[in-house]
Amino acid sequence: MASDTKATAGAVAANSMWGGRFDVPPAEIMQAINASIDVDRRMYRQDIAGSIAHAEMLAAQGIISSADAAAIVRGLEAVRAEIETGGFAFKKSLEDIHMNVEARLAELIGQPAGRLHTARSRNDQVATDFRLWVRDAIDALDGQLADLQRALLDQATAHAETFMPGFTHLQVAQPVTFGHHLMAYVEMLGRDRGRLADARRRANECPLGAAALAGTAFPIDRHRTAKALGFDQPAANSIDAVSARDFALEFMAAAAICATHLSRFAEEIVLWTTDAFGYVALSDAFTTGSSIMPQKRNPDAAELVRGKAGRVIGELVGLMVVMKGLPLAYGKDMQEDKEPTFLVADTLGLCVAATAGMVRDMRPDKAALRAAAEGKPGKGFITATDLADWLVRTLGMPFREAHHATGRIVRLASERGARLADLPLKDLQSVEPRIDARIFEVLDVERAVRSRGSFGGTAPEQVRGAIAQARKRFGL
């Protein structure tokens, strides 16, 4: 009988967080699959902040005493200090960050700790912690993206008049400036920051007080806790408050788009640093060598940024698959939300930092870029559009006729192995007799670039204006 009593007491102790409902401790494999402390421990700051706000609200509403609330707050601050100094012992048997903090709080302050969980559930607790964490992650990423924009703007300023070929279909298209090309990424990153800001705004509703799913009979003040935690307002529906994870999905979607932008830029860096292009060089700080080929300088930082975009996109898809079939309200499947979200934030932050480093490190070769824009004899014909525009503007040709005439001139230059600017006037006139010597003014690469002064165009004065406006528009 004594042994039975001892066994029962042990079972109850093993299930102390569940109260008297369970008689037998969970199987070892159940504990292993159920525990999330190795992942969610990084939310300790958010968890403690939410608990402090909750305790202070409970006291203000007369639900617990001011003395108990004060003891709880002091104890939680002590727990936070232990975690930050490395003196806290996380226990897998306590499953998650919430129960680890609460158990340690009970060790420190005793009975008052048992009052902290009044009028809340782990469901609204974790939803609150997670929103706070995503909000903090967005703020950190916004600062990093702003820094990357500044790096691009600095390079664009230095190269507003560095001429290079622009491409479509990875074929030489029209001449642009290197600064203008970089400014395209400044705009992309600006939209990325906007998407993250939008995601933050929609995430900034407080689930605390929704309890398990139905709210609570205690006279709590959800507006008070929302304000204390910096939320715009409490979540309006208690079921939605605990079951929604679209704030994480939206954050991850914005991150995936941003990672795609970074990957496109990384791909260009990979191309530009090859001998075939030779447009830019990276120093030893952002390249690696080969274990067998002594001559190699590999743009591994860029390649890894390109590769890690796949991980970010994959984690987004993974969480969408987890969420797609879940009935309301909370299901344990949702414990799988934090690991991919954390990984996305970590990965994107690393990629943004690496990209900013490469932008500041890269050294564009002005001569090589200019030579590529000029093109090899019989190749590229980068000012062909300028020739067609001249026929329209000067001779009054319909554009389709001008396009056809220009195509014949390009074919002639290809057959002669010449650049358009190198063709004799008589050869040009053999295609269109009205062409005169003024045509050569638009066949020069530099003049072609400078002529494109439309808003958002590549003319150097437009690029400089765009840089100034971007600094102002994006707060840089």
- The catalytic site residues sit at 169, 290
Which residue reads 């690393």 in tokens? 350
Helix segments in 208-299, DSSP class H = 222-228, 238-243, 246-272
Q: Which two tokens stand for residue 171?
A: 């074929």
Nearest to 141 by CA among 292, 350, 320: 350
Q: Which two tokens stand for residue 47?
A: 């968890």
The tally of CA atoms less than 13 A away on the side-chain side of residue 354 is 25
Helix (H, G, I), strand (E, B) or coil at 444: coil
Q: Which residues pair with 165 in a beta bridge?
A: 175
Q: In this structure, what DSSP letter does residue 287 have?
A: -
Beta strand segments in 22-147, E:
none
Specify the pairing of strand 363-364 against strand 280-281.
antiparallel
Element (DSSP H or E) covering residue 171: strand 171-177
CA-derived radius of gyration, the chain: 31
How far is the C-alpha of 207 from the C-alpha of 209, rounded, in Å? 6
Which residue reads 């622009």 in tokens? 166
| Residue 332: how many other CB atoms lie within 10 Å | 10
How far is the C-alpha of 453 from the C-alpha of 458, rounded, in Å? 7
Cα–Cα separations (whole angstroms), residue 335 to 92, 104, 316: 15, 22, 15
Q: Assess contact for 162 and 369: CB atoms under 8 A.
A: yes
